């Protein structure tokens, strides 16, 4: 634990600790939680001090007294499956959709004790803005505003930082909103603006347009993060041919154009159901598709390499997935490929968190201290 760090935080649904890595050395983790044993083990292997503060178990099993001190920030990357907040708490006490309220119960208890974090981040898939015709997002804004938080949302695609297409919503709530941190941002996407405009007037009064600048030009592409060709296992030619046969004409034409070029082209392939037919879809724009947990063969991403007219394919490795999440080379990935991809597929891209921390979270956390000092 970095006790000299100026800021402290709680990390809920922590996974492999990617939010913690993104926050960096300026932040001390006071408490972390996840219910998945593999993720907890990965977290502890990468953060030795976590033996003391990582709690394994469902968020509903945590007592407020287990949360030490008063953190500046609470980060919650709650499960995205069946995310549903609208309609109150009845019926949400079981299943993954209730995870947010398990977290929120703790925040309310801390608030009653006078030690609620001044800044909250709720990270989720972009569908949060539109699920239940926007009612889920409205319900989230309501519970935050009711506790005196100013609320704003940013939609950030990890592709701005790493070679992976991974759009996510970051709902950021703060008790003290410095007016200098409120302005235009490229992360106020059309989807965010539409979600804001759908809110009732009372909630729009509690809204903050967080002024987070755009990222500098990304200097890496998919090819640059791959393992050397000789160090990975390639599929048999017959398996690659079967993959190509699953492509619709548009995607097959992309392969043939790259083959005719004669140079080296690296693409990412996903298998998806289209009109009841399983299709393979390829992209050669330098980006991987959004990493997913390997719950089925179709969810694991394939790398396609075309060179001198030859087409080869293989599955992406867990180490490559870690690079796509912006993790350092010394990050300890689970030994099994499926385990490593499981941890990566449920994570948040660390460079996105770092950008938010530098340009918004740290100024927000420092703001109340500066006011108190005056």
Q: What is the pLDDT of residues 153-208, one digit of tens each?
A: 999 999 999 999 999 999 999 999 889 999 999 999 999 999 999 999 999 999 99
- Do 269 and 302 touch, CB atoms closer than 8 A? yes
Average of per-residue pLDDT across 32-56: 95
- Minimal CA–CA distance to 349: which of 16, 5, 6? 16
Mean pLDDT value of segment 98-108: 90
Indicate the average pLDDT of the chain: 90
pLDDT over threshold 70, residue 269:
yes
In this structure, the number of other CB atoms found within 10 A of the CB of residue 238 comes to 8
Q: What is the pLDDT of residue 83?
A: 53
Higher local confidence (pLDDT), 43 or 295: 43
Is 86 a residue whose pLDDT tops 60?
Answer: no
Q: What is the mean pLDDT of residues 57-79?
A: 94
Alpha-carbon dihedral sign for residues 146, 150, 155, 156: negative
Reported confidence tier of residue 63, pLDDT bands at 50, 70, 90: very high
How much is the average pLDDT of 133-159? Answer: 94
Domain locations in the chain? 7-218+344-373, 228-316
What is the model's pTM? 0.92
Architecture of domain 7-218+344-373 in CATH?
3-Layer(aba) Sandwich (3.40)
Q: Over 60: is that where the pLDDT of 315 sits?
A: yes
């Amino acid at each position: 634990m970095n006790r000299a760090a100026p800021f402290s935080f709680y990390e809920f649904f922590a996974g492999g600790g990617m939010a913690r890595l993104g926050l960096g050395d300026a932040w001390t983790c006071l408490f972390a939680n996840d219910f998945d044993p593999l993720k907890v083990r990965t977290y502890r292997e990468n953060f030795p001090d976590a033996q003391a503060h990582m709690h394994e178990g469902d968020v509903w099993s945590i007592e407020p007294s287990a949360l030490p001190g008063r953190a500046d920030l609470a980060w919650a990357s709650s499960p995205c499956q069946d995310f549903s907040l609208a309609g109150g708490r009845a019926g949400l006490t079981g299943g993954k959709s209730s995870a947010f309220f398990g977290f929120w119960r703790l925040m309310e208890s801390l608030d009653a004790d006078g030690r609620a974090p001044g800044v909250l981040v709720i990270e989720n898939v972009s569908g949060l803005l539109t699920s239940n015709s926007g009612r889920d997002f409205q319900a989230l804004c309501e519970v935050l505003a009711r506790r005196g938080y100013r609320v704003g949302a940013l939609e950030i695609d990890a592709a701005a930082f790493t070679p992976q297409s991974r759009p996510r919503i970051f709902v950021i709530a703060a008790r003290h909103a410095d007016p200098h941190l409120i302005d235009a941002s490229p992360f106020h996407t059309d989807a965010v603006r539409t979600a804001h405009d759908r809110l009732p007037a009372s909630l729009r009064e509690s809204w903050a347009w967080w002024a987070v600048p755009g990222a500098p030009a990304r200097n890496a592409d998919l090819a640059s993060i791959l393992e050397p060709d000789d160090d990975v296992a390639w599929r048999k030619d017959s398996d690659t041919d079967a993959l190509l046969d699953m492509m619709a004409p548009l995607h097959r034409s992309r392969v043939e154009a790259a083959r005719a070029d004669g140079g080296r082209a690296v693409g990412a392939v996903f298998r998806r159901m289209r009109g009841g037919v399983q299709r393979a879809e390829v992209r050669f724009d330098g980006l991987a598709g959004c990493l997913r947990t390997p719950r089925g063969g179709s969810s694991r991403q394939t790398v396609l390499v075309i060179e001198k007219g030859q087409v080869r394919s293989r599955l992406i490795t867990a180490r490559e997935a870690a690079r796509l999440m912006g993790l350092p080379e010394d990050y300890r990935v689970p030994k099994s490929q499926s385990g490593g991809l499981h941890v990566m597929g449920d994570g948040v891209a660390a460079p996105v968190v770092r950008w938010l921390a530098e340009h918004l979270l740290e100024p927000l956390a420092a703001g109340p201290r500066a006011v108190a000092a005056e």
